Amino acid sequence: MRAGVVGGGSWGTAFARLLADRGHDVTLAVRDPDQAAAIAETGRNPRYLTNVDLTDVSAVALPDFPEADLLVMAVPSEAFAQVAATLPEGPPDLSLAKGLDPSTGNRLSTLLEGHPVAALSGPNLAAEIGAGLPGAAVIASDDEELATWLQHEINSQIFRVYVNSDLIGVELCAAAKNVIALAAGGVDGLEAGDNAKAALITRGLAEMARLAAACGARPETFAGLAGMGDLIVTCWSRLGRNRRAGELIARGATPEEAAAEIGQVVEGLTTAPVLRDLAHRLEIELPITEGVCQVLTGVDLLELVSALMGRRPREE
């Protein structure tokens, strides 16, 4: 298979390595010509996952796109619409992005109208995938034939791939878990303990399932790899950007300072207000998401914790 991976960040780099290891002809399409030239010359991405071997991966600079049987979208949600508008017609698209469109609140796959589309998600820390450590993911699509073909082309001994027809649920999982991870990082920053963190993650999963039901997704999707699996690793791993950002903010950093220290896109910072606004339109309660948005606009975190803990007790 000829695969074009659009986006030269950590996840794009790791996924390009994953596809190349499966024997595919891979081209990494990046925004900066200097980055593309460095990859071609050194076989390394000079900015992200610099230890990942890319000597058998080609590189081009956007807006050039490689001739491909599959285009993989590994760009942040903020840039997704702009890049999607320039995609060539023909090949199917696989989205790796984990967010919502900031302008409309829509799922990112809806920006790929006219293309056969699927989304991949799961507990997939880019650094671990790039290092060849084992992992698993789910590919979701309304097109069962496309999902099955992608499963066959990507599944390997170190990266197990499942298929799921619930595209809505998988995309919402990918977006919502980053917001919960910001809150989990806040628990770490306050040193509130593992009991508090486990409780927050559990209630975060319930919040995500409530969102699923309101959007027509299947709640059981949120108990799978794209939901619970990705939520656990994002909230607990020291490699998780969103968890780390929440920890830094809890210790006094502004969201801008936290993002600058991390040095990579922190999707939860973009997604939180978009998800909150979506919840308002759907008339559902997402208290953790609401709380994250309040903290991002300057509300004291300890006051927020007190307010959340003081909510009226209810049935689980």
CA dist 104 → 51, 71, 81, 109, 274 (Å) = 37, 23, 10, 13, 8
* Cα–Cα dist 269/278, whole Å: 15
* Cα–Cα dist 103/90, whole Å: 26
User: Catalytic residues, which ones?
Assistant: 177
* Residue positions counted in the chain: 316
- E strands along the chain, which residues? 2-6, 25-30, 58-61, 70-73, 93-95, 117-121, 135-140, 159-164
* Cα–Cα dist 252/264, whole Å: 19
- Residues in contact with 234: Cβ distance below 8 Å, sequence separation at least 6, in sequence order: 123, 177, 178, 180, 181, 184, 240, 242, 243
* Cα–Cα dist 216/32, whole Å: 39
* Cα–Cα dist 278/284, whole Å: 9
3-state secondary structure of 117: strand
Give the pairing of strands 70-73 and 159-164: unpaired
